[in-house]
Amino acid sequence: MIVLRIEYNGLGIDEDKLPNIFTMFFRGTDTMKNDTGLGLYIVKLALKKINAEIQVESEKGKGSTFTVLIPI
């Protein structure tokens, strides 16, 4: 298995929003005017096509870590 870990030291994601971040058109904030809410949805959909998965850990104010698990 290939494990790809992406760490982002941005604002982090509110715990109550985490279950929805991979949902089509979900936007966690209104601060980005051109955000469509499709990015993470498309990533998850593409990974599903190759039997891979994505996981997220996040802490508000500290950032997020996305882990992608790709079978070989």
At 24, which amino acid appears? Answer: M
| Closest to 66 measured CA to CA, from 55, 9, 38 | 55
Residues 21-71 pLDDT 10s: 999 999 877 676 778 889 999 999 999 999 999 999 999 889 999 999 999
The band of 17, judged by pLDDT with boundaries at 50, 70 and 90, is very high
Report CA Rg, the chain: 13
Q: Encoding tokens for residue 50?
A: 């190759």
**Please, are residues 71 and 52 in contact by the beta-carbon 8 Å criterion?**
yes
Q: Which residues of 28-56 are buried (b: 16+ CB within 10 A; e: fewer)?
A: beeeeeeeeeeebbeebeebeeeebebee
CATH of the domain at 9: 3.30.565.10
Q: Which domain holds residue 59?
A: 2-70
Give the chain's domain count.
1
